[in-house]
Each structure stands twice: as structure tokens, then as C-alpha cells.
Amino acid sequence: MITRRAQWLTVAVGAAWLAGCGDGRAPTTPTPVSFLEGTWNGTVTIRPDGQPATSGSTTWRFDVVPQTNRQTFDATLQIMHEWLPITTMAIAAIAPSATPPTQINTQGDYTSPRGCRGTFGSFGTAQATRVEASFHGVDCDGITFDGQVVLTKAPR
């Protein structure tokens, strides 16, 4: 038989436990996301020093870095280009605003198919469903490249 003290202790512990659980429903206010967050597909055009410009397809995924006012992103880039077939991580930032239209800057490095670490940068304009930006960098043996990237937001 349970004593009255044990009953009250059980009720008190249960009440404290339930108090920390809320009402069991999911939050009704969603976490705000950025217009840039998600997957973007498009075309990258690259012109390495002394070579003609060529184009390939590309996919960029942007994920908001927490506590950055939705203006800083981890970016995953997959570039399917004959001269620069890479998948890499980068950092992207939008300014002066977290809402479109705004400027976008992306920077990173990659493992070159020519056997070194290369670096790249991109700067342009981000609209609600379209990004147009420069794309330039330095590859092995100091070979530089210039070009552009045009991305459109993939449907969710």
C-alpha cells in the first residue's frame, strides 16, 4: 500500500515533469527562413587563362548559419563543368539586406582535378528566384579563371 507521502511525492514529481513539457502541441510560429535558403540550379561559364569560355551545369545549396540575421550561409556547390568538375563547401553572405534584391558574395576553395587546392569567389545580385554573379578564381600553377554563374531557385 502506498503511503500518503508517497502519493504526494508522485503527484509533485509528475506535475513538475509535465510543466516542462508544454501542452504537447508543436510550436505554431515557424522559424523564419531566408529566400536564399534551399537548392538553386543553373549554368556556370568559365574562361581559364588562354582558353575559350565554356559552360556547364551547376547546383548550389544554401543553408542559413544560425544567429546571423539570415544573411550568412553555408553553401554546397556542385559544378559539372569539363574544366572544373567539383563538389565543395563555401560560405555565402547577402548584404545590405536579408530580403531581395540584395548583393551576394560567395567564397571558398576546392580540390582541383589538376592536383592542388584552388580558390574561388563570386559576387553579384540575388533576386527572389534568380542569382546572377561573377565567378572567378585561381587554380594550379597560378592559372586564373573568370566567368559567371546564373542560378534559379528550384521548386520545393
What is the mean pLDDT of the segment spanning 39-47?
98
In this prediction, residue 50 has a pLDDT band, given cuts at 50, 70 and 90, of: very high
Tell me the per-residue pLDDT of 56-67, one tens digit each, with 9 for 90 and over.
Answer: 999 999 999 998
Q: What integer pLDDT is reported at residue 131 of this predicted model?
A: 98
Residue 58, classed as helix, strand or coil, is strand
Tell me the per-residue pLDDT of 65-86, one tens digit each, with 9 for 90 and over.
Answer: 998 899 999 999 999 999 999 9
Tell me the per-residue pLDDT of 78-109, one tens digit each, with 9 for 90 and over.
Answer: 999 999 999 999 999 999 999 999 999 999 99
- Beta carbons of 83 and 51 less than 8 angstroms apart: yes
d(CA 98, CA 55) in angstroms, rounded, equals 30
- Dihedral angle of Cα 119, 38, 97, 147, to the nearest 10 degrees: 40
Q: 38-153 architecture in CATH?
A: Beta Barrel (2.40)
Closest CA to 156 of 63, 48, 38, 66: 38
Residue 90, classed as helix, strand or coil, is strand
Which segment of 30-34, 36-40, 58-62, 143-147 scores lowest on mean pLDDT? Answer: 30-34
d(CA 85, CA 118) in angstroms, rounded, equals 12
Tell me the per-residue pLDDT of 133-155, one tens digit each, with 9 for 90 and over.
Answer: 999 999 999 999 999 999 999 98
